[in-house]
């Protein structure tokens, strides 16, 4: 999967703001992007829940592996891993 990093400095970065940034970036790179999975480091939660069972022992985080196994094409990392969003284009599976 391709990886895009969006740096963030200044005011606090909320999940909603990070998602808007990631959604916008994905929309410029993919045709009709679909969000497959995400990770919020501050709250230590992921979606879908439970995909990161091996935690620190895996070389690839579960939420990234989940997306890759479902046609994921883009990982958007916002704020140096603070939030991570994984997308696939809709058109490839329509």
CA–CA distance, 79 with 11 (Å, rounded to integer): 12
Range of the domain at 30: 2-92
CATH number at residue 75: 3.30.1490.340
Reading the chain (94 residues) residue by residue, the pLDDT tens digits are: 999 999 988 788 999 999 999 999 999 999 999 999 999 999 999 999 887 666 566 788 889 999 999 999 999 999 999 999 999 999 755 4
Torsion angles phi and psi, residue 45, rounded to 5: -130, 155
Alpha-carbon torsion (27, 32, 42, 64), positive or negative: negative
Helix (H) or strand (E) holding 17: helix 15-29
For residue 92, the model assigns a pLDDT of 58
For residue 1, the model assigns a pLDDT of 93
Look at the chain and report how many structural domains it folds into. Answer: 1
All residues at 6 or more sequence positions from 62 whose CB lies less than 8 Å from its CB, including other chains: 46, 51, 52, 53, 54
Q: Which two tokens stand for residue 58?
A: 């895996």
Burial of 36 (0-12, 13-18, 19+ CB in 10 A): buried
């Amino acid at each position: 999967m391709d990886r895009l990093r969006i740096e963030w400095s200044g005011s606090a970065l909320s999940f909603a703001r990070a998602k808007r940034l990631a959604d916008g970036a994905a929309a410029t790179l993919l045709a009709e992007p679909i969000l497959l999975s995400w990770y919020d480091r501050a709250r230590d939660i992921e979606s879908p829940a439970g995909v990161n069972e091996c935690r620190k022992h895996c070389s690839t985080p579960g939420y990234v592996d989940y997306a890759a196994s479902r046609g994921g094409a883009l990982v958007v990392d916002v704020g140096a891993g603070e939030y991570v969003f994984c997308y696939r284009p809709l058109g490839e599976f329509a």
